[in-house]
């Protein structure tokens, strides 16, 4: 059986639909972003090789994401997850995994959870920024207990998620493995060799 990796992508959140509507009207279009481009998540399957199965659940409405909707969709996939599954969450996908595994009993054994540039709370963020219902519980102990080996990846120059959020996750999950960069921004990059190597190390 192949080693299974589930990757949860990021997204945007808004307090109200009106906020989302205003965002759409004011948002300037960068046409270059509509062209095909490589992303480390897309290339993960090739980098890890044939012994791994990488799955990308397309979460509902990532432009105006709601945790309650993502939870429903994520749970539909759980029966198909293997034991010793690896979970990866980038940005909003990271806080989704931390919240879900902190509030629910996960029926499969998790080998490792990788949190990449995930927000922790709304502090140190612009007033217009909201996490909607992606709010973490007071304690992440349940996440720590059933998330397997936990990894945190952050960059000091991230323009989207304050670096202070890394310190908060680190404090909440004391035994997490951490890797801090100075120049990766929000990890919108073509390759992410460090995460590939850390996944491989789990089986050595």
pLDDT in tens, 185-199: 999 988 999 999 999
pLDDT in tens, 162-190: 999 999 999 999 899 999 999 999 999 88
Q: Where are the domains of the chain?
A: 3-201
Q: What is the pTM of this model?
A: 0.93
Distance between CA atoms of residues 10 and 131, nearest Å: 12
Structure tokens at 44: 């993960």
Report residue 120's pLDDT band, with 50, 70 and 90 as the boundaries: very high
pLDDT in tens, 20-72: 999 888 878 766 665 655 688 888 988 999 999 999 999 999 999 999 999 99
Report residue 4's pLDDT band, with 50, 70 and 90 as the boundaries: very high
Query: Residue written as tokens 């989207």?
Result: 160
Helices assigned H by DSSP within 5-108: 17-26, 44-48, 67-77, 92-103
The architecture in CATH of the region 3-201 reads 3-Layer(aba) Sandwich (3.40)
Instruction: Please answer whether residues 199 and 153 qualify as being in contact, where contact means their C-beta atoms are separated by less than 8 angstroms.
Output: no
Residues 6+ apart with CB under 8 A from 201: none
> What pLDDT, on a 0 to 100 scale, did the predictor assign at position 151?
98
């Amino acid at each position: 059986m192949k080693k299974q990796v589930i990757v949860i992508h990021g997204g945007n959140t808004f307090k109200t639909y009106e906020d989302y509507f205003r965002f759409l009207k004011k948002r300037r279009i960068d046409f270059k972003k509509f062209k095909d481009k490589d992303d480390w998540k897309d290339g993960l399957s090739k980098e890890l090789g044939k012994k791994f199965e990488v799955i990308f659940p397309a979460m509902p409405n990532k432009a105006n994401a709601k945790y309650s909707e993502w939870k429903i969709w994520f749970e539909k996939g759980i029966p198909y997850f293997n034991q010793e599954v690896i979970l990866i969450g980038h940005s909003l996908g990271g806080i989704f995994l931390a919240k879900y595994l902190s509030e629910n009993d996960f029926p499969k054994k998790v080998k490792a959870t990788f949190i990449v540039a995930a927000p922790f709370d709304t502090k140190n963020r612009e007033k217009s920024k909201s996490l909607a219902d992606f709010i973490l519980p007071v304690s992440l102990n349940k996440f720590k207990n059933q998330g397997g080996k936990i990894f945190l990846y952050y960059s000091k120059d991230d323009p989207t998620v304050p670096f202070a959020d890394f310190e908060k996750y680190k404090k909440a999950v004391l035994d997490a493995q951490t890797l801090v960069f100075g120049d990766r921004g929000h990890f919108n990059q073509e390759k992410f060799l460090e995460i590939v190597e850390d996944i491989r190390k789990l089986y050595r």
